[in-house]
Structure 1
Amino acid sequence: MNGTKSGRGRRVVLWRHGQTAWNLERRFQGTTDIELTPTGVAQAHRAARLLASLKPDAIVASDLRRAAATATELAEVTGLDIAYDSGLRETFAGAWQGLTHEEIVERYAEQYVAWKRGEPVRRGGGELETEVADRAAPVVLHHADKLPDNGTLVVVSHGGTIRTTIGRLLGLEAHHWEGLGGLSNCCWSVLGEGARGWRLMEHNAGTLPEPVLGDDD
């Protein structure tokens, strides 16, 4: 599944939202609708000015507030409209949502270890990573297919969803997706269109190295 058309030279920028209070607390957010902190807004403001230099043609975003607010910063500097799609939401993780990393490891040790081994796990009774890719990757491809030749799409989403989407678009088997490191807040990855499909051109770009704080670490 690559959705490419020969010679079009399109580019997809997958941009993670800015910092939230739950990121700082290492609390699993999932589909819980958490807002950005003031620092998160500042991160999005700064990153938007860098991404604007790529002259994006379109923006699509998760409808959760932390992603929507991040996308708004880019919309304001580019003048582009934002298309919102619930298919780009973070992984639903059921009973894990709202728990800290330490609480998850303590209460769901077997699930956590199995997930880290790359096994298909419904964390907290929620979605499989492949199910996240099943809903998110088609959204990205749908909007990428509407780009002009050599056009750029910015996708504003969440760490876990971005990782699974990249894995799917690169054609990697699901148990290899863990090999893609997490994204720091307000950093992004870039997929470029090659002769044989999508290629990972940049990963976790946009700042000096910072710890990954979120659901995907």
Structure 2
Amino acid sequence: MKPDAIIASDLKRAAATAAELSAVTGLSIAHDAGLRETYAGKWQGLTHEEIIGRFGEEYAAWKRGEPIRRGGGELETEVADRAAPVVLESADKLPDDGTLVVVSHGGTIRTTIGRLLGLEPRTWEALGGLSNCCWSVLGEGARGWRLLEHNAGSLPEPVLGDDD
């Protein structure tokens, strides 16, 4: 896809993934704390089963789509508030038809995609998470951002539409 720029979360796993891409492309990485994963407060470091056991009602409310500060941490909208501007500012610096690679974390990627697409926050969960080593592809069309690929593991095929 011949990227023009790479931005990444400064947390270990994302930084290591970005470093591999940097080695292949020769591009430097701009690390930004705004791309970190959702801070989950008291849920941090717990297994799924432990969260349900200790915070069952809070977990159930979150799964119903209620705006919950999981474990006292961040709301999903707060994650989008900090991550989407990082992506937009970096995209604005690209040459025309340039490609930006964003290396982040599943929850942050989902909320940022939801924000960029203009979706209601209660619907962001419908995008689902990303499997390890998979990606999403967004493009700017005549009417704004479009989701071209999600949770992909192979290079995208060209899509022809009304606004291409």
Give TM-score scaled by structure 2 length: 0.93
2:58 and 2:86 map into 1 onto residues whose CA distance is: 29
Aligned to 1:3: none
Give TM-score scaled by structure 1 length: 0.70
SS at match of 2:133: coil
Q: Determine what percentage of the aligned residue pairs are the same residue.
A: 82
**How large is the RMSD of aligned CA atoms in angstroms?**
0.7
The number of residues matched between the two structures is: 154
1:91 and 1:100 map into 2 onto residues whose CA distance is: 15
1:57 and 1:68 map into 2 onto residues whose CA distance is: 18
Gaps of 5+ in 2: 155-164
Aligned to 2:157: none
Return the structure number with greater relative CO, CA threshold 8 A, min gap 6.
Answer: 1
Deviations 1:168-195, CA, capped at 9 Å, x for gaps: 0000010010110110011100001111
Aligned to 2:131: 184
Aligned to 2:93: 146
2:115 and 2:34 map into 1 onto residues whose CA distance is: 15
Misfit runs of 4+, over 6 Å: none
Gaps of 5+ in 1: 1-53, 208-217
Return the letter of the residue paired with 1:203: H
Matched, 1:63 2:10: yes
Matched, 1:174 2:121: yes
Aligned to 2:82: 135
SS at match of 2:137: strand
Aligned to 2:105: 158
Aligned mate of 2:143, from 180, 196, 201: 196
